[in-house]
Amino acid sequence: MSLGLIMNIATAGINTAQSQLRVVSDNVSNIHTPGYVRKIADQQSLTTQGVGSGVEIARVRLATDRFLQASTLNASADAGRETVRYELYDRIQTLFGDPGGDTSFFSSIDKLFGEFATAAEMPTSAAARQSAVWKTQAVFDEAKRITGQIQAVREDADSRIQSSVESINGLLEQIDKLNREITRATVTGADATGAQNAQAVLVDELSGFMDVR
């Protein structure tokens, strides 16, 4: 083995060790960075005319599990969807009140039927008839108020949809830019993990608005 080959092997080993140290340094310095994924530098052997000539970094990749990542995105999408549904349905339910309470809209209807029954039992009582009329008007007024509030909830939901669409479009634009950056880095053999980390954060945020596959 020539001295030159020995020096090349040593140089390749040093360069590979430096690259490994840079990866370790990035992992340690970003240990508390939200959304950061640990990087791994895969090394491979070099051969020249069938003779070992050192090692090199084959690629730098993220330590991710695609199945776990898919599960996380699905869970995030489900959580975002159900949270919005719960909030809107809860607001509508609050308008009607507790079904078992004495002050709910349903209780007012029950009381109105009671007034009608009383008026039917005392057809000559002007007070009973007037009370039934007042209770009827009160129920109609309350129904009108609830209808207006439900319409306000619908308008709020429409506004949220518009805002979400704008956020989704912004995220998709950023993800598309990162896709091109990752592609260029992959073709040239450069380190694409920084862009991949940023992309993963954006995709995770996107999963809060829609299903991501």
Rg of the chain, C-alpha, whole Å: 34
Q: Can you give the pLDDT of all 213 residues of the chain as single tens digits?
A: 577 777 878 887 888 888 888 888 888 888 888 777 788 887 888 777 777 777 887 777 777 767 777 777 777 777 877 888 888 888 888 888 887 777 888 888 888 888 888 888 888 888 888 888 898 998 999 999 999 999 999 998 889 889 989 999 999 999 999 999 999 888 887 888 888 888 888 888 888 887 877
Decide if 76 contacts 106 (C-beta within 8 A): no
One-letter amino acid of 93: Q
**Gap between the Cα atoms of 64 and 58, Å rounded:** 18
The residue whose two tokens read 């007012």 is: 108
pTM: 0.58
Q: Is 104 exposed, middle or buried (0-12, 13-18, 19+ CB in 10 A)?
A: middle
Report the residue count for the chain. 213
Buried b (16+ CB within 10 A) or exposed e, 52-73: ebbbebeebbeeeeeeebeeeb
CA 94 to chain centre: 27
